[in-house]
Structure 1
Amino acid sequence: MKKSILILLTLCGTLAFAQKKVSGFVYEDANQNGKKERKEKGLAKVSVSNGIQVVQTDENGKYELPLSDDNQIFVIKPSGYAFAIDEFNLPKFYVTHKPNGSPDADFKYKAVAPTGKLPKSVDFGMVAQNESKDFSAFLFGDPQPYSLEELEYFRKAIVTEAANNKNGVLLGISLGDLVGDNLSYHPPYKEVMKEMGLPWYNVIGNHDMNYEAKEDLYSDETFELNFGPANYAFNYGEAHFLILDDIIYPDPRDGKGYWGGFRPDQIEFVQNNLKFIDKDKLIVISFHIPLFVGDEQHFHPESRQQLFDLLKDYPNILLLSAHTHFQTNQFYTEDQGWKGAKPLHEYNVGTTSGDWYSGEFNENGVPVSTMRDGTPVGYAFLNIKGNQYELDYKVVGKPLDYKMEIYAPKVVADKGWNTAMVFANVFMGTENDKVEIRFDDGEWKPMVKVKTEDPSYYAAVQKWDLSVTLLTGRRPSNPVESSHIWSAKISNKLGVGNHKIEIKITDMFGRTFSDTETYRIEAKK
């Protein structure tokens, strides 16, 4: 018990508020000049926060909040309104208040300069917009470039394609590790993201932190300079989006490295924010490190349970994470501490950097970078329909309905002991999917979900070890057990000749996709 209390106190940091306040108006900026004018109406019942407390504006659009010397004051965008965006497509929804600047004297990457006094009224202008209840959002996992060359790979492989594939998409979210430790790449990353032409929201990752910080509260100072708050929220249609920093740095257990989890002030922000969210809303929560339920080594269990307890009365929730550089779907139940009426879904999104820009170069001059579980590099779509959602993973350079890779032998013998297998790597595969196979136009039969390495990826890695000449690019990481592989025994009883393998997926959303492969049966000599 004493150890838990000590960790909790350590996570709190120095958060005491001085006896100061900030006030102002949220208003409809009719002429879009960024200044509140007497004739412009205030917007009532709009949430405003200092990062912990959340209040709503009165009938005149006025708010008032406690103020410390280290605050991001921000508005939680209501549905039907938009903020102005800056040249990098970042919404202008916050004001930074750090009169003394960031405590960054020992930081490698400088952060916020002293901001001076706030104006007497801190006002936020918004513009009315039509928002459909049915829309999509881009989800980008870990761009994570460690060089400007890798940032260019990200632009060529991901951004250019996605920017031309945004029909019905209203916004995008990058799920952390925007760069790879070198925080001077944050501005070039923003330059690349200009091409998307959509309001873009960013999550902090463990590779976006100030490693010189002595307490977690100050590990996001350079992120705040470049992107604003690390914890915030906004609404679109019938969906409420919540962005959270879930990296505790330094790890309070040993003062080194990082630990997944939330500080008490973050949990308090979530609690205060949810007070104003209707129970029938779709709640979409984005953070970087997956919750690792059952793995206490990687995530602070008490704060995870606190988050679960705050969410239990909301029936429509989706959790989004990245970090792992493979792709998984988890469904939490009472066995994992979740007390909601139905399982809680966490989608751990595949990364836009794939396996850290490894592998041979493709025809576009970009590393293939297939992930260690066999998921090809790509990005995801969150498709929202009212307060419900669907998910799609888009493999770069492939049509949207490319949902699996089939691995099968090219030729088998018609006699003898047959050990050959067919494997289907269903990139978005979940425990709630049905995967079936048939040969030629025969009967559909279920495939078996297995825990194994992706054989196609394993073969690609073996090429690097078996080649007698040095291959271009960087050797991929070794394969890991994939969570979305199905298998079946291949048939060698169909007669000599060419035959078709057809695999059909019925996914968790009731959608059906199929793909085919061919093989040959030859007479055994």
Structure 2
Amino acid sequence: MFKTNNLNWQARIISMIAVFGLLHIGSVVAQTATGFVYVDKNGNGKKDSRETGLPNVAVSNGVQVVKTKKDGRYELPIGNDNILFVIKPSDFAVPIDSAMLPRYYYIHKPGGSPASMKYPGVKPTGPLPEEVNFALVPKKESRQFRALVFGDPQVYSQQDLDWFRKGILEEVKDVKGMTFGMSLGDLVGDNLHLFADYKREMATLGIPWYNMVGNHDLNFDNGVDSLSDESYEATFGPANYAFEYGKAHFIVLDDILAPDPRKNSGYWAGLRPDQLEFVKNDLANTDTAKLIVISYHIPMKDYGGRAFRTADRVKLFEYLKNYAHVLLMSGHTHLQKQNFYTREEGWLGEGQLHEYNAGTTSGDWYSGELDQNNVPFATMRDGTEKGYAFLNLDGNTYSIDYKVAGKPSAYQMSIFAPKVIGHRKDTSVDFYVNFFMGTENSKVEYRIGEGKWVPMNRVQTIDPNYYQAFERWDLTDELMSGRRPSDAAISSHLWKGVISTELPLGNHIVNIRAADMFGRVFTAERQVRVDAPKPLPKVK
């Protein structure tokens, strides 16, 4: 009980500082930031005398959100450690730098990041300018568009960067028609010097790219959660921000509490009061008819409070209660799963709230045997093969496509089945289908040849394909190149069927069809041969 009260008291203190103390963080002198959001007609990034301001555009200091006045001017309180940013409205573009990173923010940190940090942070920014202006350029946006989604690139070394480039980026460069892309945290693996290398590699895709912070992107040496993202901020900007495209409003959040307030070390998942206040204020300025897409690194499933601080999720869901169209996206687990939140978990809207816990571009941390290009297959522990996703937007509705790296887009499931079975040797033989985007309600069926379609049974067990590949590392006579895969995990999207041994001798096609949560049907097939059993040899 004492610990709970202590945490609640700390939360109140933080909330008061966040909401009311911006004027006094690091300074006893109140400051007000002001400037214009304007139409940058000549594209020079500076507000010229003939360039007009834009009214009714949202600007934030990371907590408060205000709308610009008729002349495009805004005013916001600011302390000595804040990032000001414009919330890009639909049908406008923000400047994009040479690394394809959107430039929609201004960092105000006169003293810079703590000098004692292991990795470099923000350099001293000097006094607050008289005006902090934000340029926008009119750009008509379709209400139908696609965005790329990367789960956990998580490069630990130059070797990982080579694998990431060859296994993912070279393929994605050929993808056309993408509006922008987003990585769901864990851009690197603890070595924050690699931010620059990651940024350089991502720029080769040639599309605007939004990022977020993960638990492997943090400055743990600062010992304060609000300072744990200093190196990230120096490279990518604010860890909490928002922007709009078409009929969708995107909110990006840093949901890692570092250090974990329960033990003052490590990390926990949750949201600080100032972050929740930002979401509340942002949504207050957002049309309830829009699709709200909230992205963060660690999934919000709490598992009894062990993984995510439950009270923070409940508060977030309270702010979302008036929005009928909401999608959550996360990474972190190196699995792929469709999570759903109900009233029992604090969701106040109709039906269930969908969280797409995305598969990763690093797969199982670049582990496993190497392919023809000497890149690890890195299949994830639940049998999901490494890849990336497409978020498809149509007005305020969405669908998601998962793309396995190096395979056709139609490849949406793996099959584990025997190549040959004995005629009437046993009653039946089991086979398994791993439907990568499946949910517990997905309809997965099979038939043999032109026979009747039969429902498959969803099972919660490990993927036998994954386990077979995993065992090779223990049974090999010679060491294999690469890193041994992680132990298998229970798959949330695995189905089992049976093949009768009464089938006639010869080859048979096992046809599979599976419907995803968006009503789309995917197919696959596998050939199985039925042979006459071999007679047993005489005992020697």
Tell me which interval the TM-score lies in, with the shorter structure as reference length. Answer: over 0.9
SS of alignment partner, residue 409 of structure 1: coil
- Residue matched to 1:161: 171
- Where do 1:161-240 residues align within 5 Å? 161-165=171-175, 167-240=176-249
- Residue matched to 2:531: 522
- Residue matched to 2:498: 489
**Identity across matched positions, percent:** 51
Equivalent of residue 47 in structure 1, options 46, 58, 82: 58
SS of alignment partner, residue 124 of structure 2: coil
- Residue matched to 1:478: 487
Q: Do the aligned partners of 2:438 and 2:493 also contact (CA within 8 Å) in 1? A: yes
- Residue matched to 1:113: 123
- Residue matched to 2:74: 63
Q: How far 1:8 sits from its partner (Å)?
A: 3.7
RMSD (Å) for aligned C-alpha atoms: 1.2
Q: Do the aligned partners of 1:10 and 1:252 also contact (CA within 8 Å) in 2? A: no
Q: Do the aligned partners of 1:435 and 1:505 also contact (CA within 8 Å) in 2? A: yes
Q: One-letter code of the match for 2:68?
A: T
Q: Does 1:149 align with 2:149?
A: no
Listed one character per residue, the Cα deviations across residues 389-447 of structure 1 (whole Å, up to 9, x for unaligned) are: 00000001111111000110111111143352110000111123211100011000111
Q: How far 1:270 sits from its partner (Å)?
A: 0.3
Q: How far 1:508 sits from its partner (Å)?
A: 1.1
Q: Do the aligned partners of 1:359 and 1:473 also contact (CA within 8 Å) in 2? A: yes
Q: Do the aligned partners of 1:439 and 1:491 also contact (CA within 8 Å) in 2? A: no
Q: How far 1:171 sits from its partner (Å)?
A: 0.5
Q: Do the aligned partners of 2:426 and 2:501 also contact (CA within 8 Å) in 1? A: no
Equivalent of residue 306 in structure 1, options 310, 315, 338: 315
- Where do 1:441-480 residues align within 5 Å? 441-480=450-489
Q: How far 1:162 sits from its partner (Å)?
A: 0.9
Q: Which 4+ residue blocks in structure 1 deviate beyond 4 angstroms?
A: 11-14
Q: Do the aligned partners of 2:427 and 2:502 also contact (CA within 8 Å) in 1? A: no
Q: How far 1:106 sits from its partner (Å)?
A: 2.4
Q: Does 1:423 align with 2:427?
A: no
- Where do 1:324-473 residues align within 5 Å? 324-473=333-482
Q: How far 1:168 sits from its partner (Å)?
A: 2.5
Q: How far 1:335 sits from its partner (Å)?
A: 2.1
Alignment gaps of 5+ in structure 1: none
- Rounded Cα–Cα distance in structure 1 between residues aligned with 2:139 and 2:147: 17
Q: One-letter code of the match for 1:160?
A: E
- Residue matched to 2:329: 320
SS of alignment partner, residue 186 of structure 1: helix
- Rounded Cα–Cα distance in structure 1 between residues aligned with 2:8 and 2:108: 26
Listed one character per residue, the Cα deviations across residues 263-307 of structure 1 (whole Å, up to 9, x for unaligned) are: 000000000000011111000011000012433111111111111
Q: Do the aligned partners of 1:8 and 1:264 also contact (CA within 8 Å) in 2? A: no
- Residue matched to 1:88: 99
Q: Does 1:17 align with 2:27?
A: no
Q: How far 1:2 sits from its partner (Å)?
A: 4.7
Q: One-letter code of the match for 1:27?
A: Y
- Rounded Cα–Cα distance in structure 1 between residues aligned with 2:77 and 2:92: 25
Q: Do the aligned partners of 2:110 and 2:126 also contact (CA within 8 Å) in 1? A: yes
- Residue matched to 2:139: 129
- Residue matched to 1:7: 7
Alignment gaps of 5+ in structure 2: 24-29, 536-540
After superposing the two structures, state which structure 1 stretch, 286-295 or 371-380, moved more.
Answer: 286-295
After superposing the two structures, state which structure 1 stretch, 29-38 or 416-425, moved more.
Answer: 416-425
- Rounded Cα–Cα distance in structure 2 between residues aligned with 1:9 and 1:266: 17
Q: Do the aligned partners of 1:328 and 1:349 also contact (CA within 8 Å) in 2? A: yes
TM-score normalised by the chain length of structure 2: 0.95
Q: How far 1:10 sits from its partner (Å)?
A: 3.5
Q: How far 1:110 sits from its partner (Å)?
A: 2.0
Give the number of equivalent residue pairs.
523
Listed one character per residue, the Cα deviations across residues 212-238 of structure 1 (whole Å, up to 9, x for unaligned) are: 022101001111101000000000000
Q: Do the aligned partners of 1:293 and 1:336 also contact (CA within 8 Å) in 2? A: no
Q: One-letter code of the match for 1:89?
A: M
TM-score normalised by the chain length of structure 1: 0.98
After superposing the two structures, state which structure 1 stretch, 197-206 or 36-45, moved more.
Answer: 36-45
Q: One-letter code of the match for 2:135?
A: G
- Rounded Cα–Cα distance in structure 2 between residues aligned with 1:347 and 1:378: 14
After superposing the two structures, state which structure 1 stretch, 189-198 or 418-427, moved more.
Answer: 418-427
Q: Do the aligned partners of 2:381 and 2:489 also contact (CA within 8 Å) in 1? A: yes
- Rounded Cα–Cα distance in structure 1 between residues aligned with 2:123 and 2:9: 29
- Rounded Cα–Cα distance in structure 2 between residues aligned with 1:377 and 1:330: 19
